Amino acid sequence: MLRYLTAGESHGRGLSVIIEGLPAGIPLRAEDINTWLARRQGGYGRGGRMAIERDRAEILAGVRGGYTLGSPVAIFIANRDWANWQEIMAPGPEARPGRIVTRPRPGHADLAGGLKYHQADLRNILERASARETAARVAAGATAAALLKELGIEVAAHVVRVGQVEVKGAVDFIAARQAWESPVYCADPEGSRAMVAAIEEARQKGDTLGGVVEVLATGVPAGLGSHVHWDRRLDGRLAQALMSIPAIKGVEIGAGFELATIPGSRAHDAIAYREECGFYHPTNRAGGLEGGMTNGETLVLRAAMKPIPTLMRPLPSVDFLTKEPATAAVERSDVCAVPAAAVVAWAAVAWVLAGAVLEKFGGDHLPEIQGRLAAYRQYLKEGLRECKGLPSPWKEEGEG
């Protein structure tokens, strides 16, 4: 089973992630992870924290000579801002009070977390609820992507909407893969420029903007996931992974909500067959998932992100201790983190797909998995043509 755990606070010493279940033999270097950490920190609209941090992954265990060992992989990402917070955030009794937060921000975990964990200083909530934790998720996703790459599966992500600016029409995988060249990770040049302008307008107003990101995955074989239990359906697992990203409030697969507005004759994808590739769908409204399983087409998933809840012109709130009316606390924040969310969504999808691959094909060493997947791909392409009639238990009496 592939799994990971993260630990760390936004202004603590750093973020840690331990990954268990990666097979041996996967090429993995710190730079492979750092590329994605840098992308998470980039994108037009980021705040002052990104000017401080320069995230770098330090691989502490589980990798030797540039290859995974099959043992747990441990990664540490230092917080450079720790130097300014070490007295306040010290884990021992020497920690001194400071920068206490008692005015919860609407739309953040401050209030609900303070009530749940009985914390008078809401910093004890916001430090962990902060999207800073997603740097560790991206590191985990990068290791999963390294496995997928060796299996011929590739994931890309891009921004399709910021505020009222939306990219019209489908974006193919090649264009999506090149979207990182845009300042907002948008594959459409005109849309990219309009998004930058919208973010700048929001900055001048002291406001924030949300948007929508899209994740695509190619090379995914049919049959990952399962229809037999609710928790094994891959569409549900992918949706959960995306919904767990801070500020994500909606997820759709393929044509998603649009399918609720059109008749079934236009909603579903016809099935076709070619000898050179096997079964396929001429269209992809299902987004590569049917019945909780991949169907061999490109995976298409979208996640909607609400605006960042920390506002330079804060909304009304109530002091957590005095219960008196107050304006919400202001922490250093972004104007728009939708481009960063695209990177985190990329990591989330890569992670779930890697887990689904290992569930289906198993194996403790990369060549072992590659061999099993290659045989399965061959089966998908031509194996069904060898079937002559029904399996013997279902043959009619008298048949051979």
DSSP letter (8 states) at residue 42: -
pLDDT confidence of residue 164 = 97
Closest by Cα among 204, 182, 206 to 194: 182
pLDDT confidence of residue 399 = 44
pLDDT confidence of residue 232 = 96
Regions of the chain where pLDDT drops below 70? 48-53, 332, 383-400
> Taking the CA of residue 68 as centre, how many other CA atoms within 13 Å lie in the half-sphere pointing to its CB?
25
Instruction: Count the Cβ atoms, other than its own, within 10 Å of residue 315.
Output: 11
- CATH number of the 3-375 domain: 3.60.150.10
User: Which tokens is 207 given?
Assistant: 């406001």
Write the CB contacts of 397 (distance below 8 Å, at least 6 apart in sequence): none
pLDDT digits (tens, 9 = 90+) for 209-247: 999 999 999 999 999 999 999 999 999 999 999 999 999
Helix, coil or strand: residue 78: strand
pLDDT confidence of residue 120 = 94
The phi, psi pair for 326, rounded to 5°, reads: -160, 165
pLDDT digits (tens, 9 = 90+) for 59-108: 999 999 999 999 999 999 999 999 999 999 999 999 998 889 999 999 99
> Taking the CA of residue 66 as centre, how many other CA atoms within 13 Å lie in the half-sphere pointing to its CB?
3
pLDDT digits (tens, 9 = 90+) for 18-36: 999 999 999 999 999 999 9
pLDDT confidence of residue 381 = 85
**Contact between residue 17 and residue 139 where contact means Cβ atoms under 8 Å apart:** yes
pLDDT digits (tens, 9 = 90+) for 60-74: 999 999 999 999 999
